[in-house]
Structure 1
Amino acid sequence: MSENDNWYPERPPQFADAGDFEAVIFGSDRPLTNGAKGYSYAAFAIRRKGDHEYHYGVASSRGDSEEYRGYIAAIVAVTEALPAKSSAIVTTHNKTLATIFKEWLPGWEANGWKKADKKPPAAVEILQRYWAVKRERQLNLAFEHVARNDWRFGGVFNRLSGTIQRFVEKQFPERP
C-alpha cells in the first residue's frame, strides 16, 4: 500500500445535531525531527460544549509514515464526527500541529497544496481530506495549543495517554 492510498475510511457524523463542540488531541511522543519515520498515535476526545462526558477514539499511522500523520488523522476523525454547520475548539499539546491548522494550512491550500519551498506538505492527502470535510460540512474549527502539563486538561490528557497505551498493547502484544 502506498502512502497515498486511502486507508482512513471516512466516518459518518457521530453527533446528530449541529452545535458547539470541544475536542482534545493528545499524541504519543516521537522524535520530532523533520522527515522522521515510524508509528505515530494520537487519541482524541470530543464532546458537545456543556456536556461532561467525552467520546474517545484513537488514530494511528503505519510504521513508515511521516511524524505527524497520526495527529492529522485524529483531527480528520474529530472533523468527521461533527455534524454539518457545527463549530469546535480543538486543543492539543502539540504546538506544531496547532500551527499547521491555524496558520499554514490555508496558505498551502491557496498555493495548490505546496509549501513555501514548492514541495507538498507531509501527509498532504490527509490534510486535503480534512479540508474537504470541513468545507463540505461548513465547519468552523479553531485550534489551541496548551502546555502538556496544563491543569485544565490534565485529566483528559491522562485518559488519552491511557487510550493510546491500550491501543498499542492490542496492536503489538509482543512489545514489553
Structure 2
Amino acid sequence: MKDEPLSNETTGAALPLPTCIIVYTDGSCQPNPGRGGYAAILCRYRDGREIKRAHIYGCKQQTTNNEMEMRAAVEALKLIRKGEKMPAFIRSDSKYLIDGKNEWLPGWITKGWRKADGKEPENVALWREIVELCDGLDVTFEWVRGHSDDRMNAEADQLAAKGRAQRKPRVIEVMEGELA
C-alpha cells in the first residue's frame, strides 16, 4: 500500500488529485429491510502514494439498504478531522446517496427539510448528519458503478457483508499509521 505508485490497478480508478482522501463506501441489507451492514475504506494519498488507510464497518439489526449506504458515508466522514485541508472524495455505488447529496439535499434544506410533496425526506437524521460532518470540509460525492471492475468498490462491498455478519455496531481497523 504505502509504496505502491498511483495507478488504475492500485486504486480501482484514477485519483482526481495526487494529494487527497478517497473514501469508498457500501451498504448491505439482507433481506431489505432486515439485518444490515455498512463499510467504508478511507485512503489518504500524498503525491500519488497511499500513506494511510482505515477500514470502518458495522451492523444494525433492523435497517434498510439505503440507511446502511448513508451510515457508511457518515462513519467515514467522522474519521476526517474538522478543518482538514486535503480534499476528500466519497465514492459510492448508491445512487440514493450520491443523488441525494448532490441533487436533492439543497432543495430539501431550502424547503425546511421538506420534499416537493411537502413530506420529510426518508433518513432525514442521517442527511442532517452528513451536512454537519461536511461543514468546513472540501468533500465531493461521486457515483461509481457497483459490481464492476472497480477493485476498491468490490472491497467495500465485501467489508459491508462482513459488517452485516458480525455483531458489533462499529469496528475501525487502521493500517499504515493513524488517521489524524
TM-score, normalised on structure 1? 0.71
Go from structure 1 to structure 2 and tell me whether the alpha carbon gap of 1:74 and 1:30 turns closer, same or farther (over 3 Å shift). Answer: same
Residues 62-81 of structure 1: pairs in structure 2 closer than 5 A:
62-63=61-62, 65-81=63-79
Go from structure 1 to structure 2 and tell me whether the alpha carbon gap of 1:116 and 1:39 turns closer, same or farther (over 3 Å shift). Answer: farther
**Do structure 1's residue 171 and structure 2's residue 167 form an aligned pair?**
yes
Which residue does 2:95 correspond to in 1?
A: 95
Which residue does 1:42 correspond to in 2?
A: 38
Is the Cα–Cα contact under 8 Å of residues 60 and 69 in structure 1 kept in the other structure? no
CA displacement at 1:145 relative to structure 2:
0.9
Partner of residue 148 from structure 1, selected from 141, 146, 149:
146
Cα separation, 2, equivalents of 1:68 and 1:74: 10
Residues 4-153 of structure 1: pairs in structure 2 closer than 5 A:
20-28=20-28, 37-49=33-45, 50-51=49-50, 53-63=52-62, 65-86=63-84, 87-135=87-135, 138-151=136-149, 153=150
CA displacement at 1:149 relative to structure 2:
3.5
CA displacement at 1:29 relative to structure 2:
5.7
CA displacement at 1:147 relative to structure 2:
1.0
Aligned length: 145
Which residue does 2:174 correspond to in 1?
A: none
Go from structure 1 to structure 2 and tell me whether the alpha carbon gap of 1:24 and 1:141 turns closer, same or farther (over 3 Å shift). Answer: same
Moved segments of 4+, more than 4 Å: none
The answer to which structure has the higher strand fraction is: 2
Go from structure 1 to structure 2 and tell me whether the alpha carbon gap of 1:60 and 1:107 turns closer, same or farther (over 3 Å shift). Answer: farther
TM-score, normalised on structure 2? 0.69
Aligned partner of residue 120 in structure 1, secondary structure: coil
RMSD: 2.4
Stretches of structure 2 lacking an aligned partner (at least 5 in a row): 1-18, 169-180
Is the Cα–Cα contact under 8 Å of residues 29 and 35 in structure 2 kept in the other structure? no
Stretches of structure 1 lacking an aligned partner (at least 5 in a row): 1-18
Is the Cα–Cα contact under 8 Å of residues 59 and 166 in structure 2 kept in the other structure? no
Aligned AA for 2:90? V
Go from structure 1 to structure 2 and tell me whether the alpha carbon gap of 1:129 and 1:66 turns closer, same or farther (over 3 Å shift). Answer: same
Whose RCO is larger (CA < 8 A, sep 6+)? 2
